[in-house]
């Protein structure tokens, strides 16, 4: 089944900013004993088969060993509860990797699939600050890192991130996350906010 999705990523993980896993293309260990993260994708355009996916949201939750190339990742999927049943089915297939694409390439690294949940998702914006909540299990602020000229600082030539190869840096504050029983919290944590475009 052919599909394409485009929109904006809002990511936070439990590493200190900047996440060493990402800038090193997985050669460096996470800040802590493991890496716990959520990647929220706000989908502005695209479709899965004949199903229009505009206006939907989907989050990928990950718990990985400190050196992510060790594999045995745990992943779970959270779909915004305003998606139709057809949209939710399509998103669960894309984000579980069963329809290929960037997330399908993660398949060999996944040790446990934690399932799919439907929860309300909210993304609010105040200039370069974004506030993300998902049910009562995800809550964090993302503040984009800006240059002296007011442009977002970016990492480029990132080949191992699903939303790469260019990632916009952001710092996550007021983090209080516990999806699928995976908990992390704090200020000054790693984050990214940038556009993405996928197709398969």
Looking at residue 65, its pLDDT comes to: 96
pTM value is 0.95
* Residue 139 tokens, joined: 């809550």
Looking at residue 109, its pLDDT comes to: 87
Looking at residue 107, its pLDDT comes to: 80
With beta carbons less than 8 A apart as the criterion, state whether 164 and 154 touch.
Answer: no
* Residue 182 tokens, joined: 């995976």
Looking at residue 5, its pLDDT comes to: 97
Looking at residue 48, its pLDDT comes to: 96
Looking at residue 88, its pLDDT comes to: 97
Looking at residue 25, its pLDDT comes to: 87
* pLDDT tens per residue, range 89-131: 999 999 988 899 888 888 888 999 999 999 999 999 999 999 9
Looking at residue 123, its pLDDT comes to: 97
Instruction: State how far the Cα of 97 lies from the Cα of 95, in Å rounded to an integer.
Output: 5
Alpha-carbon radius of gyration of the chain: 16
Sign of the torsion angle spanned by Cα atoms 69, 66, 9, 79: positive
Instruction: State how far the Cα of 182 lies from the Cα of 137, in Å rounded to an integer.
Output: 9
Looking at residue 106, its pLDDT comes to: 82
Q: DSSP 3-state assignment of 50?
A: coil
Below-70 pLDDT ranges, the chain: none
């Amino acid at each position: 089944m052919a599909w394409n999705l485009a929109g904006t990523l809002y990511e936070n993980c439990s590493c200190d900013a900047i996440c060493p896993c990402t800038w090193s293309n997985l050669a460096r260990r996470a800040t802590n004993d493991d890496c716990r993260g959520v990647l929220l994708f706000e989908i502005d355009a695209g479709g899965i088969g004949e199903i229009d996916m505009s206006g939907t949201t989907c989050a990928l939750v990950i718990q990985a060993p400190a050196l992510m190339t060790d594999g045995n990742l745990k992943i779970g999927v959270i779909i915004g509860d305003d998606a139709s049943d057809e949209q939710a089915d399509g998103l669960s297939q894309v984000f579980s990797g069963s329809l290929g694409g960037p997330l399908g390439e993660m398949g060999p690294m996944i040790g446990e699939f934690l399932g799919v949940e439907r929860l309300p998702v909210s993304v609010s914006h105040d200039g370069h600050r974004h506030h993300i909540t998902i049910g009562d299990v995800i809550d964090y602020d993302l503040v984009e890192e800006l240059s002296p000229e007011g442009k977002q600082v970016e990492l480029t030539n990132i080949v191992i991130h699903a939303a790469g190869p260019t990632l916009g840096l952001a710092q996550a504050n007021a983090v209080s996350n516990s999806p699928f029983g995976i908990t992390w919290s704090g200020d000054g944590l790693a984050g990214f906010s940038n556009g993405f475009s996928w197709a398969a």
